[in-house]
Structure 1
């Protein structure tokens, strides 16, 4: 039961709590804060008394967060980051500078598209301060809904009435194989050739993994084993080590291909769908409009087989996400970008 009066919220206590969570000890937190250990201990004790529940298990000098402490840390972290950004924005206003902005993107898109899009905008267009968060697609959505970010790039589905979708991109997934593999000599990797092999792919069953599973099932393939992961770069590294063939989205693969790997097209179209989004009814600044345009141009240039889907209507988004689910993963939809 939360007993805390938020009118008396003490930021020193929250800073101390965040420092303990980061450092893993009172001593380490005191060092980070430039305070004495007893003063830091007192701040944590006062915070726990205000909340009405313990934030840490204590075993002599050792501490570990309680379940409530872990959950509370998520809220405190968001609050402290928001306060930091408010201070930054207040300073930018006072200096007459362009407003800092926050971008939330999935790891693949933050690696594969965001850096080149920012570079294409030029230094004079960008604000002095900007923040890039690398999050799961679900957390990108939640961060935008909480207005903790100004703009997002995420894999589909991202349908939510609280979000505006600006455009949807589609590009075929690729196969990544070690450069010394026999498959590296083939022009195209056939799904049928992966029978008895190890397939490396993504873990989330509600996004790319679902389409990979469909392609494997329709080809009647039984792999030797499947290794799944929540990060494309991990899948690429596993493939480079010779552990199998990685079937991954093309953004991170084309954006940051590790040495010792080669990319090959697949003989079936497994679509990777992603889009740019922002909080609904919040007009984009001129800087974010330029960033959105740059992302689209970089995607068209960098991703082989890129297709653009206009997303001015919610129905268009639904069609792009679900339209091919009951069909064989072959023909792509949308209009090509030249």
Structure 2
């Protein structure tokens, strides 16, 4: 039974459960909430009675969540977050201020694009409360579809009838090298020059990784050693430690440069495809529109970045399944 349909559950019970999950104990939760330990215990017991199943395993002072408790906790977090946002927006409306804004983005774009984009927006458009969620690309799409995020910036594919696509960009992947690497003296690095090197790159086979593998195969490069990671920042820190060279998207390298590493273009165009999305047919606020436009400008400042004709599904299909029209280069 969903707690959303139970009239007897109140926010205090949910807050108590979330605090126990966060603190790992009832005692810790009581300190977080400023309540007594018996009061928190009673709130959890009442919550379990209301929903009809146990949320926690109890063994003396130790507690661990049940399988149902883990699933329920995810719902509780979303619910409490939504309530907090409603309070923030109600306050902003009452004060005549821009309402709070939630942006979902993949980690590389949250770090490499969003900070500069937000900084470029007129201060009067920035709300008192701004939430940035760094999520996996699939979760960015789901957050926007569920309207738990006002808009998102994510790598492709982004096809979905519930999304409006505002722009799609194509930026070539780059190679990150230790600044002492002999290849750092080259303006353009050939993939063939990486044949004997340990290559560090991203792991997700359904997004950027398959394009990197295809490019290596076309160049006749069969890496003998590879490290795959789930974040570009991790790849860059490994380069700095001398563990190899990294083929990564350019957003993190440009937006969050790491001392001791350098970025060089590759002789093969390995496309990093990303775009800005919002819920379909939902009018954009002035703040959302401004951040989306600023993010596009920041993206276009990346080396070799260009906009695709992102009128909608056609542009997305082209970028994912193979271009049927040549991209239009946009001046930076």
Structure 2 length-normalised TM:
0.95
Report the equivalent of 1:336.
329
1:312 to 2:311 alignment: yes
Q: Do 1:5 and 1:50's aligned partners in 2 also have CA atoms closer than 8 Å? A: no
What secondary structure is seen at the aligned counterpart in 1 of 2:58? strand
Q: Do 1:200 and 1:245's aligned partners in 2 also have CA atoms closer than 8 Å? A: yes
Distance in structure 2 (CA, Å) of the matches to 1:97 and 1:114: 22
What secondary structure is seen at the aligned counterpart in 2 of 1:54? coil
After TM superposition, the structure 1 = structure 2 runs for residues 1-338 of structure 1, keeping only pairs within 5 Å, are 5-301=5-301, 303-323=302-322, 333-338=326-331
Distance in structure 1 (CA, Å) of the matches to 2:112 and 2:236: 13
Judge which range, 76-85 or 223-232, deviates more.
223-232
Per-residue CA distance 1:76-127 (angstroms, 9 max, x = gap) = 1111000000000001111111222211111111111111111111312222
Q: Do 1:202 and 1:230's aligned partners in 2 also have CA atoms closer than 8 Å? A: yes
Per-residue CA distance 1:5-33 (angstroms, 9 max, x = gap) = 52222211110111111111111111000
Distance in structure 2 (CA, Å) of the matches to 1:333 and 1:122: 34
Aligned length: 331
Q: Do 1:2 and 1:52's aligned partners in 2 also have CA atoms closer than 8 Å? A: no
What secondary structure is seen at the aligned counterpart in 2 of 1:124? helix
What secondary structure is seen at the aligned counterpart in 2 of 1:9? coil
Structure 1 runs, 4 residues or longer, greater than 4 Å off: 1-5
Distance in structure 2 (CA, Å) of the matches to 1:100 and 1:251: 26
Distance in structure 1 (CA, Å) of the matches to 2:238 and 2:271: 22
What secondary structure is seen at the aligned counterpart in 1 of 2:7? helix
**Structure 2 CA distance for partners of 1:136 and 1:4, relative to 1, 3 Å:** closer
Q: Do 2:232 and 2:252's aligned partners in 1 also have CA atoms closer than 8 Å? A: yes
Q: 5+ residue gaps in structure 2?
A: none
Distance in structure 2 (CA, Å) of the matches to 1:311 and 1:305: 17
Q: 5+ residue gaps in structure 1?
A: none
Distance in structure 2 (CA, Å) of the matches to 1:66 and 1:205: 32
What secondary structure is seen at the aligned counterpart in 1 of 2:188? coil
Q: Do 2:125 and 2:286's aligned partners in 1 also have CA atoms closer than 8 Å? A: no
Question: 1:3 offset after TM fit, Å?
Answer: 8.5
Structure 1 length-normalised TM:
0.94
What secondary structure is seen at the aligned counterpart in 2 of 1:282? coil
Distance in structure 2 (CA, Å) of the matches to 1:226 and 1:177: 15
RMSD, aligned CA: 1.7
Distance in structure 2 (CA, Å) of the matches to 1:10 and 1:125: 35
Question: 1:4 offset after TM fit, Å?
Answer: 8.3
Q: Do 2:164 and 2:312's aligned partners in 1 also have CA atoms closer than 8 Å? A: no
Distance in structure 2 (CA, Å) of the matches to 1:160 and 1:183: 42
Per-residue CA distance 1:263-286 (angstroms, 9 max, x = gap) = 111110000000000001101112
Distance in structure 2 (CA, Å) of the matches to 1:28 and 1:337: 55
Judge which range, 184-193 or 3-12, deviates more.
3-12
